[in-house]
Amino acid sequence: MKELKLMKGNEAIAEAAIRAGADAYFGYPITPQSEILEYLMAEKPHERTGMVVLQAESEIAAINMVYGGAACGRKVITSSSSPGISLKQEGLSYIAGSELPCVVVNVVRGGPGLGTIQPAQSDYFQAVKGGGHGDYRLIVLAPQSVQEMADFVDLGFELAFKYRNPLMILTDGALGQMMEKVWLQEQKPRMKTFPEWATTGKTPDRERNIITSLDLDSAEQEKFNMKIQEKYRKMEAEEVRFETTDTEDAEYLLVAYGTSARICQKSVRLARDKGIKAGLLRPVTLFPFPKKILSELAGKVRGILTVEMSTGQMVEDVRLAVEGKVQVEHYGRMGGIIPSPEDIVDALGKNFLK
């Protein structure tokens, strides 16, 4: 039975992982996402579903535990925040290079370096361009509510397994710490059968399974690169997700994801109260990026303003999608400061309504 709860975004992710039938969570504490590991430990998922939860000695160990578990064909999830996600990049590259499915949650805080523990969106580049070494991509989902924090865990596993690819839920400290109503899905059973590629023990009826990202033969390595690129093109064709608000008659378009998109919804209303016909495009998948709709909308509006809690990262992808059809500007706050709905309307005015 579905269940209604008031939960923090972090807690919702943890509960959703149990209910999605996850086999394991491996993580290491870091603010502002430690509630995920705390909630899981308190909930005793081992008793509820048999799910393994382990606090690793580092983010590096945690992501390699994810690798080991995912290579056994299991549903494995980990979470961290920006500095810890940087530590996980080596493992993520290996996971992508070994074509393993997993879900990684980044509850972003302001950087660079140790930065701040307040929310930010400054890990966009790292999330959508690969992050670690080599040519690879993560599927990136950007929730904007506690409900989506929960829903995207299950969706995340589905997509990760569909493509044999790591998936990142890119969220931030604000969504992790805030409480909202959330409908939790019914408990899904854990998997009983595992993909044929998984290292579950070589039985006499099959060849041995090897999980590796190594190929010393350059021709073979190039072939592998082309194969995973094809996978990414397929994602771009089939998995783009986005939402629009008041775009039908919009003259000015805001583009924002996650927390910024929530704030922009209010900005759209405030702008319209002032007689400015604003609309909002919210990318839900940051990779694959909603290029097509952006290109279409670019032909209809007078200006586009991206709103990000960073110095402007997604704005580069927006400009690539728009191909110069319309002026694209960026408004952002950094270091853990969240822009207010009014700030965004002001920025819209300053950029386009001088």
Partner 1 sequence: MTEEIIIAGFGGQGVLSMGKILAYSGIMQDQEVSWMPSYGPEMRGGTANVTVILSDEPISSPIINRFDTAIILNQQSMDKFEGSVKAGGLLLYDGNGITRHPERKDIRVYRVDAAEEAAKMESARIFNMIVLGGFLKVKPLVKIENVRKGIAESLPERHHGLIPLNEKAVLRGMEIVKQVFEPETK
Partner 2 sequence: MVENTGISDIVKDENLVYQKTKVLTDKVMHYCPGCGHGTAHRLIAEVIEEMDIQAGTIGVTPVGCAVLMYNYLDIDMQEAAHGRAPAVATAIKRLMPDKYVFTYQGDGDLAAIGTAETIHACNRGENIAVFFINNGIYGMTGGQMAPTTLSGMKSSTSPYGRDVQMMGNPLKMTELVAQLPGTWYVTRQAVHTPASVRKAKKAIRQAFENQKLKKGLSLVEIVSNCNSGWKMSPVEANKWMVENMFPFYPPGDIKLEGKMVGKE
Q: Which residues bind partner 1 (CB under 8 A)?
A: 4, 6, 31-32, 117-118, 173-174, 177-181, 259, 262-267, 269, 338, 340-342
Q: Which residues contact 237 (CB under 8 A, 6 or more apart)?
A: none
Residue recorded with tokens 């945690």? 62
Q: Is 167 in contact with 138 (CB distance < 8 Å)?
A: yes
Q: Which residues contact 344 (CB under 8 A, 6 or more apart)?
A: 254, 263, 264, 267, 305, 307, 331
| Residue 262 binds which of partner 2, partner 1, none (CB < 5-8 A, kind-dependent) | partner 1
Tell me which residue of 61, 103, 77, 98 sits closest to 23, measured CA to CA: 77
| Residue 208 binds which of partner 1, partner 2, none (CB < 5-8 A, kind-dependent) | partner 2
Cβ closer to partner 2: 41 or 320?
41
Residues of this chain, 39-58, that bind partner 2 according to CB under 8 A = 52, 54, 56-58
Instruction: Locate the DSSP E strands across 121-204.
Output: 139-141, 166-172, 179-184
| Residue 320 binds which of partner 2, partner 1, none (CB < 5-8 A, kind-dependent) | none
Distance CA 137, CA 286 (A): 11
Binding characters for partner 2, 235-264, by CB under 8 A (x = yes): ------------------------------
- Which of 11, 30, 33, 74: binder of partner 2 (CB under 8 A)? 74
Cβ closer to partner 2: 22 or 276?
22
Distance CA 98, CA 210 (A): 9
Residues of this chain, 76-105, that bind partner 2 according to CB under 8 A = 76, 90-91, 94, 98
Q: Is 10 in contact with 169 (CB distance < 8 Å)?
A: no
Cβ closer to partner 2: 56 or 320?
56
**Angle formed by the axes of helices 146-163 and 218-238, nearest 10°:** 140
- Which of 7, 17, 19, 67: binder of partner 2 (CB under 8 A)? 67
Distance CA 5, CA 13 (A): 13
Q: Does 331 bind partner 2 (CB under 8 A)?
A: no
Shortest distance, position 82 Cβ to partner 2, whole Å: 21
Cβ closer to partner 1: 198 or 338?
338
Shortest distance, position 270 Cβ to partner 2, whole Å: 49
Q: Does 64 bind partner 2 (CB under 8 A)?
A: yes
| Residue 282 binds which of partner 2, partner 1, none (CB < 5-8 A, kind-dependent) | none
Q: Which residues pair with 279 in a beta bridge?
A: 253
Residues of this chain, 210-229, that bind partner 2 according to CB under 8 A = 210-214
Q: Does 196 bind partner 2 (CB under 8 A)?
A: no
Q: Which residues contact 124 (CB under 8 A, 6 or more apart)?
A: 170, 286, 308, 310, 313, 314
Shortest distance, position 39 Cβ to partner 1, whole Å: 14
b/e per residue 284-311 (b: at least 16 CB within 10 A)? bbbbbbbbeebeebbeebebbbbbbbbe
Shortest distance, position 38 Cβ to partner 1, whole Å: 14
For the chain, the residue count is: 354
Q: Where along the sequence are the contacts to partner 2 (CB under 8 A)?
A: 23-24, 26, 52, 54, 56-58, 60-62, 64-69, 71-72, 74, 76, 90-91, 94, 98, 199-204, 208-214
